[in-house]
Amino acid sequence: MTELFDTVLNPSDTPMDRAALAAAMADCDVLVPTLTDHLDAALLEAASERLQMIANFGNGVDHIDLAAARRKGIIVTNTPGVLTDDTADMEMALIIAVPRRLAEGERTLRAGEWQGWSPSGLLGHRIGGKRLGIIGMGRIGQAVALRAAPFGLSVSYHNRHRLPESVERATHATWMESLDELLATSDFVSINCPLNDESRGMIDARRIGLLKPNAYLINTSRAEVCDEDALIEALETGRIGGAGLDVYAHEPAVNPRLLSLANVVLKPHMGSATIEGRDATGEKVIANIRTWVDGHRPRDQVLEGLF
């Protein structure tokens, strides 16, 4: 970026506060935020007329008020596709780790509490022969489905629209029109839908109550899709088998009740954290900016119909 443009960088990984974001938007043509930079309507409406483009570093754009950007005439781009495999790999890791109690085993070993092999020590559940229900069958959902089949998992999915038959065959996935039915019949439930007005709070207490007693919930998408308090209650009471989580309602804070649970594998929002993925994301950001600078519509423009 510094070779191509007159660039001002945030020198650390520390999120910019509102004052810093407002100052940046007052003095730039293009802003490159990450998911920790919350661009709400008030910030965007107060932005300088000079700001023409928000080239998001990442795929999710729920931290940007898209309607406000549209009103302001600001182009918003993202970086779809580059983190698909990384996130799907992490999901499969959680799908294996939770029922096989890998985190519990490591904690036992590190604490010096392991007494050696025993017939009933840390017994978990196999995943072969079980059913995986995927909520949101976009790029990541499809990548998870492709990884699940070799492990002996059958796959169902719920999506706003049914996928073409060719995609269902390729991913070995069966569409379920009813989300409630998918939840009630799955042994593993993987949340892969984006966060928006429709999906926010979609997995509420009622729907968590539909899960099987030995079901496992996996979430590497956005915490706000699921009612975190209702999930914790289900985990504490043994209503469901466990959970694998990479996202939390009040990041970076994690609910202490989650931290105390043995039947949960917790990861610090690292589903996309690979060097290759970060490099590829940066390349897409630069490509989007260069396309706009050259007077063309960026390939990854999020808002349609602006120009």
- Measured CA to CA, the distance from residue 252 to residue 254 in angstroms comes to 6
Q: Is 172 a catalytic residue?
A: no
What CA–CA distance (Å, rounded) separates 216 from 240?
A: 7
pLDDT of residue 11: 84
Same domain, 24 and 131: no
Residue 45's pLDDT is 94
pTM for this entry = 0.88
Phi-psi region of 305 (alpha: psi -120 to 50; beta: other; left: phi over 0): left
Instruction: Reply yes or no on whether 269 is catalytic.
Output: yes
pLDDT tens for the chain, 307 residues long, are 999 999 999 888 888 899 999 999 998 999 999 999 999 999 999 999 999 999 999 998 999 999 999 999 999 999 999 999 999 999 999 999 999 999 999 999 999 999 999 999 999 999 999 999 999 999 999 999 999 999 999 999 999 999 999 999 999 999 999 999 999 999 999 999 999 889 999 999 999 999 999 999 999 999 999 999 999 999 999 999 999 999 999 999 999 999 999 999 999 999 999 999 999 999 999 999 999 999 999 999 996 533 3
Domain presence at residue 51? yes
Query: How much is the pLDDT for 307?
Result: 32
Catalytic residue from among 251, 283, 290, 299:
251
Cβ-based burial of 232 (10 A; exposed 0-12, middle 13-18, buried ≥19): middle
Same domain? 193 vs 150: yes
Res 259: pLDDT: 96
Q: Residue 305's pLDDT is what?
A: 39
Number of domains the chain is built from: 2
222 counts as catalytic? yes
For residue 57, the domain's CATH number is 3.40.50.720
Q: Note whether residue 237 is domain-resident.
A: yes
Is the domain of 61 the same as that of 193?
Answer: no
Q: Which of 70, 162, 269, 297 is catalytic?
A: 269
Answer yes or no: do 27 and 135 share one domain. Answer: no
Domain of 44, in residue numbers? 18-81+274-293
